[in-house]
Amino acid sequence: MQRRTFIAGLVSAAAAARASQADARLKGAFRRPEKNGWIFVRLAGSPREIGFQHGFLLAPEIKDGHRVISYNLTTDSKKDWRFFRETAEKVFWPRVEDEYRQELEGLVEGVNAKGVKLDLWDVVAYNAALELSPGYLNWHNQQPGSGVAARIATADRCSAFVATGSYTRDGRVVIGHNAWTGYADGARWNIIFDITPAKGYRILMDGYPGYIHSGDDFGMNSAGILITETTISRFRGFDPNGIPEFVRARKAMQYATSINEFARLMREGNNGGYANNWLVADRNANEIASLELGLKNVELRRTNDGYFSGANFPVNEKLAREETDFPIDDPSDSSNARRLRWDQLMAEYRGKIDVQAGQQFLSDHYDAFQKKIDPNERTLCGHIDLSPRGLGTWQPPFGPAGAVQAKVTDARLAERMSLTASMGHSCGIHFRAGAHLRRYPKFNHLKPYLRDLPSRPWTVFETVQ
């Protein structure tokens, strides 16, 4: 099997090389054979060239990823795909600046060149999926004449931390994150992008095939800024006149040279879509920050000696009260239990936090509410599929969702644009789609999309010189 995979990789590389000779837009771009579940892709050039390379090199994955995301959006909203295409054209596209318009147009050209029939509005809606639902949909459904009153719940996505100073082994920055999604889309969140744009700074980030942003948002740039986030649970609020979150997130990853600049780029034109608590580090200044970006309430906290954690809880009480329906006083809530667990781990490991410790954190199965080891929806390594409670209104009991991959890096690795990543649950527990569907047939509607999510080893990735 390994030999067959290796040969397939060589064939793919050879095909890309031949295409590169025929099309100058592919110069300097390539994809490597899959490694421990990850696909490494190198992109470089003008915005349109980067888009074309992305679409061309990942066309099969983009086609498959679009199939899953469009199913999720239409199923959750009870609206057809045409609704999202029209929203992409009329609401999002007018507020996409020219650089990223060119990249999106190039991406369409790239997938079309490989025979994948997606057009611009398909791709824009696809990139905006995380803010279309629930942000835009909840706003739209409350407009006069919509005929819809029900709200779509914000998914509890991700656990993350950033630490420095007396909390880390060498006194320098350490940052880590695991992405929580449904396993159908999460199994496809397996791209490592190495991007050298004509303007701005080089980027190393994880991502979803066809997204010009990371989406789950873990990455760094060559100016020394490291970035991640977790969503603000049960958030409500959206401004259709704002700049799409996927544009601001990509722009900040590409152009930020300081924490202040990152905060400015994220706040400028903030539409409230995909509202997050952003954890940021400046490895040059050895400073870390938390940017809690609501729509009405925004708070930037920073330190050279401490930590910030994320587990989908709102930090600012005013934001929690005015912009969320978050159960602040419920210790059994997933976000509150995980917040407590982060505080416990930071205290226990103070002065000892490094990449290895970060990997252990993101594999942690201690339920701080029950005070015992029990992998479920309340543990940092989320296993909603093992929980008889599910997770609020996002996932029912035993819903096939939870942590799908994890990443950790530190200042030393980031200096050479490098990170460690684990695909699947980093704890070693595998998810087997067939067995889960046999045990819980109520999820059989996901059968065409759900695939196995084996736990893979931690792997080092870095930019290609």
Distance CA 348, CA 333 (A): 23
**Does residue 5 form part of some domain?**
no
**Does residue 174 form part of some domain?**
yes
Q: Which residue range forms the structural domain that includes residue 429?
A: 159-188+225-238+270-462
Q: Residue 9's pLDDT is what?
A: 41
**Does residue 303 form part of some domain?**
yes
Tokens 């300081």 sit at which residue?
A: 258
**Does residue 376 form part of some domain?**
yes
* Distance in Å from the first CA to the final CA of the chain: 30
Domain CATH code at residue 418:
3.60.60.20
Q: Structure pTM?
A: 0.94
Q: Which of 326, 310, 165 is nearest to 231 (CA)?
A: 310
Backbone φ and ψ for 42, nearest 5 degrees, come out as: -105, 125
Residues 378/364, Cβ–Cβ less than 8 Å: no
Domain count, the chain: 1
Q: Residue 149's pLDDT is what?
A: 60
Q: What is the largest CA-CA distance in the chain?
A: 62
**Does residue 164 form part of some domain?**
yes
**Does residue 364 form part of some domain?**
yes
What distance lies between CA 84 and its chain's CA centroid?
21
**Does residue 4 form part of some domain?**
no
* Secondary structure letter of residue 95 according to DSSP: G
Distance CA 407, CA 398 (A): 25
**Does residue 322 form part of some domain?**
yes
In a structure prediction context, what are the per-residue pLDDT tens digits for the chain, which is 465 residues long?
333 333 334 444 454 445 544 699 999 999 999 999 999 999 999 999 999 999 999 999 999 999 999 999 999 999 999 999 999 999 999 999 999 999 999 999 999 999 999 999 999 999 999 999 999 999 999 998 776 666 787 778 899 999 999 999 999 999 999 999 999 999 999 999 999 999 999 999 999 999 999 999 999 999 999 999 999 999 999 999 999 999 999 999 999 999 999 999 999 999 999 999 999 999 999 999 999 999 999 999 999 999 999 999 999 999 999 999 999 999 999 999 999 999 999 999 999 999 999 999 999 999 999 999 999 999 999 999 999 999 988 999 999 999 999 999 999 999 999 999 999 999 999 999 999 999 999 999 999 999 999 999 999 999 987
